[in-house]
Structure 1
Amino acid sequence: MSRRTSREFALQGLFQIDVAKADVHEAIEHVLEQEGAEIDPLFVRDLVSGTSKHVDRIDEILKTNTTGWDLKRMANVDRNVLRMALYEMLLHTETPTSVVLDEAIDMAKAFSTPESGKFVNGVLAKIVPVIDNLRVEFAQGE
């Protein structure tokens, strides 16, 4: 099972929720129905449902780290890559932050614009130094 492919499937689900206003459960089921890829369905479910559950708090963190960028005007893929990466960095502490960062940059490059990798890297690079503090704040808010 590939975590990279699982993240790509989760991104598809988040995109459906964000852009097409799909129901979280329906979006998850839709991406899991796809055949031919070895994914971890539990990981996909967690990334989609967890990111969706915490999207307001995640967006607040992103807003404070994207000066001059309105999240609604951001490229749809970039916005969802950032949301999912931030969720994973905050709540999947077993995954090295550097891995999450690399995966997010690669997905932005692959599924968005040529500049998206640099943009995602820039935003997440501002967050990485304070991720431990954000994890504590996030945990206290639950």
Structure 2
Amino acid sequence: MAARSKARKRALDLLFEAEQRKVNALELLRERLASPVTEAPLNEYTVTLVEGVVDHWRDIDEAISTYAHGWTLDRMPAVDRAILRLGAYEVLYASDVPEPVAISEAVALATELSTDDSPKFVNGVLGRLLEVKPTLL
């Protein structure tokens, strides 16, 4: 697995864990930076992703809610919410990542970690965000 793919997976793990534990994702990130729970320290890109998602949380959630037709954030599986937040951050705000790569990586995470229907759902929502990106920013 490529370094950025691993960084995305670890960012996803942190976002998911923070939501499940009902703690602030930045606080959890700081905790993990100070006291790592794995042998390898957090990748710099993992930190960038978590900080970016948190910095744009409201706008990301609003965009996902708007374009996930028929699905509220609360109704989505928690892992899909985290994947969509991460993917939306990369599609909308990460200028160093080609948008199709961001979508592909999010779909790969959904394929690996979520339901059979999740990859198609994630692809559809993020694809729509990419289409309307000029109107969102």
| Short-chain TM bin | 0.7 to 0.9
TM-score (norm. length: structure 2): 0.87
TM-score (norm. length: structure 1): 0.84
CA distance in 2, matches of 1:78, 1:31: 23
Partner of 2:100: 98
How far residue 122 of structure 1 moved from its aligned partner, in angstroms, is 1.2
After superposition, the Cα gap between the structure-2 partners of 1:122 and 1:31, relative to the gap in structure 1 and judged at 3 Å, is: farther
Aligned with 1:61 (options 51, 60, 63): 63
Aligned with 2:109 (options 103, 107, 110): 107
1:105-128 residue CA offsets vs partner (Å, 9 max, x unmatched): 000111111111111011112111
Percent same amino acid among aligned pairs?
36
1:2-54 residue CA offsets vs partner (Å, 9 max, x unmatched): 000000000011012222112324422465524355862x2111211221222
Q: Does residue 128 in structure 1 map to residue 130 in structure 2?
A: yes
Gaps of 5+ in 1: 138-142
After superposition, the Cα gap between the structure-2 partners of 1:132 and 1:63, relative to the gap in structure 1 and judged at 3 Å, is: same
How far residue 55 of structure 1 moved from its aligned partner, in angstroms, is 1.2
Partner SS state of residue 58, structure 1: helix
CA distance in 2, matches of 1:104, 1:81: 6
Partner of 2:89: 87
Partner of 2:38: 35
- Runs of 4+ that moved beyond 6 A: none
Q: Does residue 77 in structure 1 map to residue 79 in structure 2?
A: yes
CA distance in 2, matches of 1:117, 1:76: 14
Partner of 2:10: 9
CA distance in 2, matches of 1:23, 1:62: 20
CA distance in 1, matches of 2:11, 2:32: 8
After superposition, the Cα gap between the structure-2 partners of 1:31 and 1:81, relative to the gap in structure 1 and judged at 3 Å, is: farther
Partner of 2:25: 24
1:75-123 residue CA offsets vs partner (Å, 9 max, x unmatched): 1011110011111112211210010000000001111111111110111
CA distance in 2, matches of 1:108, 1:102: 10
CA contact (8 A) 2:91 2:126 kept: no
